Structure 1
Amino acid sequence: MKCSILLEQIKEYWPSEIIVTEDLESQLNNLYWLADSNIDDQTQDWLSLSAWAFHQALEPFVQTEMAKGKKFISLHQLPMKLFNKQMLFNLEEECWATELSEYIQE
């Protein structure tokens, strides 16, 4: 599965932008659980893995955007490089060996 395709597919499960609250961690966790609840872990393992990787990559991305003074953050602007980094990190677990061999970076 191609990184760019996964990134575009998983963005559909997340809001396009957020207004940052004081409790960023809870805000991002709640968004993750909402996205994850719409994914069938049994039949959509790539989407499930992508949702978690997207969630993991969001905090550093949002922190960087906040450091620039932004309060409205476009989640869909998450760089593919950050998403790919988290995908690779997660796929290194032994249980994802098959998926790692199928994963195509760009």
Structure 2
Amino acid sequence: MAVEKIRLFEFARERWPLTVRVLPTNGFPSFASKPNLYDLYRAIEAACEPGGEWTAEDEWTGLANWSFHQALWSLAEQSSAERIVYRDEISFEMFDARMRANLLDDCWIAERQEYEDSPLRFH
């Protein structure tokens, strides 16, 4: 099963709020956010849980949600002052880099090859 990378990115992006307010902290993590990024991720994951048996599409959805979360988190960490992070600041390239990094684990060998072989868009 080939995946359409751009579609996967667009669907993941649509699940996130348009903006997240980021406030730097002196602790770990180095920021606080409103709403909380991890709580948002957990809610998105819960909303995407299949009603029955997991399918390959469900696996791709979960991986895409996590990759988008990581990209947003990375932007939030870079903030040295209070700011609004917009979900549209996450480019496909940022998302794709996270997807590829997540697929490096040996448990994802088949999926990694599938992702590498898949087009950006189906024609």
- Under TM normalisation by the shorter chain, which class is it? 0.7 to 0.9
SS in 2 for 1:15: coil
Secondary structure, in 3 states, of the residue corresponding to 1:38?
helix
Instruction: Determine which structure has more spread, i.e. the larger CA radius of gyration.
Output: 2
Structure 1, unaligned stretches of length 5 or more? none
Kindly indicate which of the two structures has a greater share of residues assigned to helix.
1
User: Which residue identity lines up with residue 82 of structure 1 in the other structure?
Assistant: M
Whole-angstrom distance in 2 between the partners of 1:40 and 1:82: 25
Tell me the equivalent position of 1:77: 89
SS in 2 for 1:73: strand
User: TM-score normalised to the size of structure 1?
Assistant: 0.80
Query: Aligned pair 1:54/2:68, yes or no?
Result: yes
Q: 1:84, 1:105 within 8 Å by CA — same for their partners in 2?
A: no
Describe the shift of the 1:105–1:38 C-alpha distance in structure 2 as closer, same or farther (beyond 3 A). Answer: same
Alignment of 1:1-106 (within 5 A): 1-21=3-23, 23-24=32-33, 27-40=36-49, 42-43=54-55, 44-64=58-78, 66-67=79-80, 71-103=83-115, 104=118
* Runs of 4+ off more than 3 Å: none
Q: Aligned residue pairs: how many?
A: 104
TM-score by length of 2: 0.70
> In structure 2, what is the Cα distance between the partners aligned to 1:38 and 1:90?
21
Distance in 1 (alpha carbons) for counterparts of 2:4 and 2:73: 23
Taking only aligned residues, the RMSD between alpha carbons, in angstroms, comes to 2.5
Gaps of 5+ in 2: 24-30
